[in-house]
Amino acid sequence: MRWTVSGVGWEVGVREVIDGRYEISGALGAGGMGEVLLGYDVVLDRAVAVKRIAVGQFASRTDLAEEFVARFRREARVTARIRHHGVPQVFDAVLDKGAESVYLVMEHIDGVTLRDFVHGVGMLPIECGVAIAAQIATVLSHAHVLPVVHRDLKPANVLVAGDGTVKVIDFGIAALLDGSTSRITRTGSVLGTAAYMSPELVNGQDVGPRADLYALGCIMHEMLSGRGVFETRSEFDTHNRHLSEAPTPLRALRREVPAQIEQLVLDLLAKDPADRPATARDVYDHLLPFLPGPGTPESPAPAGYPDPTRIFRRPNPPADTAPEPVARRSAPGKPATATGGLVDIAARYRELCELGRFAQAAEALVTVVDEAEQRYGSHSPQLGELHRDIATAFTRSGEHRRALNEWERVETIERQVGATSRVWQARIAAVECRAILGDLTAAAAVDELYRLFGEIRAAENEFGDAAVAVRVAIAELLPAVGDQSRAQRFLTQLRDDLEVLRPPEDPVRRRVEQLAVELRR
């Protein structure tokens, strides 16, 4: 790979392997119960989030160690029971051999926390804030029906994914209300985060679903005003204000907030749970008139952040033709430690490809695209080669939509560079991806490849590498068109040409011979 020269890059090395299956390569965050790590499932070739709870630190306190293990088991079961796209899937739960750590393996979400969203933007556009609140209310409604209470709902536990969907994470201190699980919280301990704690939670009383609604009111106030409900210098003062002080109405801080939204937030922040909305569904119903309807014109989300209104403007939409991750500056799994180099990334890429882990190989290169573009330029041969390697890995992993996006970038860059043969190769690969994705019928794809073949033959001949590549692509697609005799004639001519042009061990010649056998069958 010509783009690989020494320089500053990012660490993608493996720190440890869990259960012989999950490779850990970095940290995503930390919380009261442990840390969240970026992992990779070597069996299913996909990124995962791994929540680790270290119980070894409590070895001298058996009661504490047992408590953390019990919380872990409960979290795994609770989270797995909430069947909703707004709660990341649980894939696995692992207790290490030494019983020093327990791990929860979950769906990895490429997104930004609501905390970072609010800190980066300040006051959110009202439609964005309402859309996020409505999605949180939907998740809570599914949890409360089980019934499960989150107990620590806060912006840090809310993710906004790249497609605008909201995910509620970390049900780690959730309390099952159906009595199937013994209470783990010790007398005198307070679980939760001061800025979002309901009065009953502050007082250590039993809490129900309306405690989560109070936290949602705190979140809505913060999203729409850019400031917390009660901002103090100590948790003690914050607790006291939650217990005794009335919140400032939103319209006193931001006049354009609709009066009905202001009243909803005040109702959610009522000191007495009985004075709050009865259910999360009631909250959603109050928000519904302020949500954009299907097909309404899009209003731009804050620059660099996902659009949480999209799910309402385009409900259950088809996949994007060219999906992008959340801005690379904040995307989980793309941090971080400037200890490696582009050479190290390239070596890691080759190693992963040799292991057949193509999706992970592609993601390793994605982390250094910005670095390479700054180093070499946006229309450099090195950047084109980097995108080509990413495209190749995504193609081999079966992620054809992302591969198509990369092949189109390769074509644009190589056209600027003037590398005609590489432009042809990228166009061939792009047509093949579009055919697999169904963007082109087999017949349309063959027609497009024939036009490209004519262009290549006019510029060179029909025996060069690019010409052979497009002929192989046509041979692979022709049987799907339905004209078997035409496919047989085309493949026979190609096979005869390759017998003259290429040695028997040539992989392209062997592939064409295999196609001929398959067609006869």
Catalytic residue IDs = 152
**Alpha-carbon distance 77 to 53, whole Å?**
15
Beta strands, E only, 69-186: 90-95, 101-107, 111-113, 148-149, 158-161, 166-168, 175-176
Residue of 430, 416, 357 whose CA lies nearest to 388: 430
DSSP readout, 341-389?
-HHHHHHHHHHHHHTT-HHHHHHHHHTTHHHHHHHH-TT-HHHHHHHHH
**Alpha-carbon distance 95 to 52, whole Å?**
10
Q: Per DSSP, what are the bridge partners of residue 104? A: 51, 93
What are residue 28's phi and psi, to 5 degrees?
-105, -25
The 3 state secondary structure assigned to 19-74 is CCCEEEEEEEEEECCEEEEEEEECCCCEEEEEEEEECHHHCCCHHHHHHHHHHHHH
C-alpha distance across the termini of the chain, in Å = 39
**Alpha-carbon distance 136 to 149, whole Å?**
13
* Token reading at 205: 């009383």
Please report, for residues 1, 67, 403, 511, 520, the alpha-carbon distance to residue 514 in angstroms, rounded to integers and kept in the order given. 29, 60, 25, 5, 10
